Amino acid sequence: MRAAVRDAGLRATPSRIAVLHLLRGAEAPVSHGDVVGKLASQAWDPATIYRNLTDLSDVGLARRTDVGDHVWRFEAITGSHQAGAHPHFVCTECGTVACLPDLEYVMTRAKAPRAIRQKRVEIQVRGRCDACM
């Protein structure tokens, strides 16, 4: 984790490591508020955590996503999130966000806009989650 942060050109501060660790362990994108809540025992100031999230996004270790509620959520770009752009399922009732597999078929179409091939898009699937059905 430390090496990943250093290789990306950032100083491996304890809060950055903790934020990246949390993002990599999360199954769905998390908001700044979620991260602050989960790291509350560490007494880091919310502004520091926000900077950590944006720094990690700027160097490509994480990505920012807006599922349509104008809240930035962050997720790590590794493992199950390696490909970067993948659709998110958003529950219209409770707001739960879940990651869906990559839409490789759409991504590889020759006529798809360049932004899709470069994975600079937000893909949202809206409906009711299992708990709200």
Residues that bind Zn ion (CB under 5 A): 75, 91, 93-94, 96, 99, 129, 132
CB of 6 to Zn ion, least distance (A): 25
Q: Which is nearer to Zn ion, 9 or 79 (CB)?
A: 79
CB of 50 to Zn ion, least distance (A): 20
User: Count of alpha carbons within 13 Å of 67, Cβ hemisphere only?
Assistant: 23
> How do 97-99 and 88-91 pair as beta strands?
antiparallel
Q: Which is nearer to Zn ion, 36 or 85 (CB)?
A: 85
Q: Which is nearer to Zn ion, 17 or 77 (CB)?
A: 77
Which helix (H) or strand (E) covers residue 88, if one does? strand 88-91
CB-based contact 91:129 (threshold 8 Å): yes
Beta-bridge partner residues of 89: 98, 125
First to last CA, the chain: 39
CB of 99 to Zn ion, least distance (A): 3
CB of 81 to Zn ion, least distance (A): 6
Q: Which is nearer to Zn ion, 116 or 129 (CB)?
A: 129
